[in-house]
Structure 1
Amino acid sequence: MEPGQAHLDMQTVVEVEINSLSVAGSPRISGEDIEHVEMLTVAQAPLPPIIAHRATMRVIDGVHRLRAAERRGDDKIAVRFFDGDEADAFVLAVESNITHGLPLSMADRKNAAERIIRSHPLWSDRMIASVTGIAPGTVAEIRRRVAGAAAAGRGRIGQDGRFRPLNGAEGRRLAGNLIAENPGLSLRQIARASGISPETARDVRNRLRRGEEPLLKGRGRPARAPQEQLPAGSADAGDGGDGAVPVRMPVQDRTVVVRRLKVDPALRFSETGRTLLRLLSIHTISAEEWDDIMANIPPHCSGIIAQLARECADIWADFAQRAERNVAEAV
């Protein structure tokens, strides 16, 4: 298992000793529902396998089925295993319990949202809402109550996987400071550190060279750079509006998005979906790893590799446009 990756094995079901499993950390504040356990206990049909976190043997989904098996006198229960960290195991537990079985109460969902805000502070309100089954506005209210969460990070990751800056002016100001202190930094390094696009970083650097302020002057709020202009009528870029600035998200956040996609049955259970996941996983390596790859390219191969890289970038750009058209047509 590579660092930062998660995997739910839906293909393999194993029999596990019931006494080896733990039910700690459930998103249900009040514990199990006794009536639901009794209903499952007398059910004639075999109960579906539960899901457990391999590293801790904690039940992620299926505590009521586990209790029913205990009441039946069973020693073992069918289990599918999830590999990943405990924060993502909790996210899967919440997702699983709003889509089937005994739904989580509203109090459970709000409590889960607060916990996910703490463990995944860069996730947008809409993204957390989609996991917990509550309104984005409710998530925003909870975020405001969580100490330090509202100000965490320079942006948010939306449901579409895009990283959106919360404050473009602050990003420009930070980029200006970085350039002044470290003139040798590349545009990519400046953009990554300040949460803006490389094009905006270039504009900030050019403005400083001309002796101008890094912020664009305008009436009211700072204007956007030409590369950051939003489509007419679009929402602001704070939390997943359709007019988001297409800023390249940090690699650790990109890894989180790919990790979530890897547990999506719609992708995992099709050959084309698995191929797409493998292609996306390539782009979760760090900037340092890319630098190492670059440093070890044989000089006689550099030209053809550069050409192939540009062609691959064009293929992904075309893929992105077609995917966005699919979203627009679906809407």
Structure 2
Amino acid sequence: MERDTRDDPDGRGTRDLPDAEAAPDGADHLIRLRDRGFEDRPVELVPTERIVVDFDDFSPRSDGEDEDYVRTLAETEAEFPPILVHRATMTVVDGAHRLRAACLRGADHITARFFEGDLATARLLAVATNVTHGRPLSTDDRIAAARRILAAHPSWADRAVAALAGLSAKAVARLRDGTGLEAGAFRIGRDGRSRPVDASQRRELAGELIRSDPGASLRQIAARAGLAPATVADVRARIRRGESPVPDRGRGRAAARAREPVPPGQRRVPPASTGQPLADDEVLRLFDALRRDPSLRFSDAGRSVLRVLDACAVIARDGGRIAATVPPHCRESLAQLAHGYAGIWNRLAHDLTGGESERIASLGA
């Protein structure tokens, strides 16, 4: 079946029809399948006895079913969203706990949408959906998910694997080093493009081109250096700051800053556990998943957390408008306060992951 381009004449964001699910073209294919939520698929009422739960092959959850979480879901009065099932094997891709909770309620049918793709894609899609939906994955489970993706697609770029597994690209790189997989000279990014693993020489060339022709556009330099325009933009920004075009050469200065003394009564802000900041749409998608989680919605503590997150979601949606309406004499103070709150959130992220970076580093060693 062909791609449906009726809503996208230029073909940039084409929506795959069912037959296209059987031919994934990279990590971005899985991410698009995961993030669109299969809302365009019809909802069917399926007998629970026909559905298979396979925690070994389809789920990254090493501890299997969480009985406490199942009971929490079953005791709520909320109607469960449809689960996602692999049509060919009738195996749950996303929603195993919802299925168990429905059975605990005594239901003999459950609403479901179907994934029509092949078995290998269904398994990876199960990993991708479990990272962002339902009960959050532990650090160990996300590590296991990344290893599973690397084993299936060793040529996928670290950032592509990280987006699926819920880790940072640096964490995935350390895991890759510890797997013994063939590194290869090129990696395939989320956009499907193949890029060299070591881009330092290309960055150096881009730096020389920027210095010799400051008026050249990002795309012109990118084409000549064999880099993405976004990478060239990073090189240009580094040169303007007086830094090397190659990020690795700036680590010494970062380490020196990390050794600077912290003022009395203050705490050093640790690096964010997920490495790269999320885009605004990713933030809103994660918040939407959390606010639908019954374990948060139906407890006092959980509702308090969701209220705080809702305020942050407002900023993610309307940050530009908010900034434009702040009186000029308040801008500097508000900016300082925002930086301060960012540090507090950063510490919370570090505390929530329990030193994830250190554990991943030890596992990849």
TM-score if structure 2 supplies the norm length? 0.45
Where relative contact order (Cα < 8 A, 6+ residues apart) is larger, the structure is 2
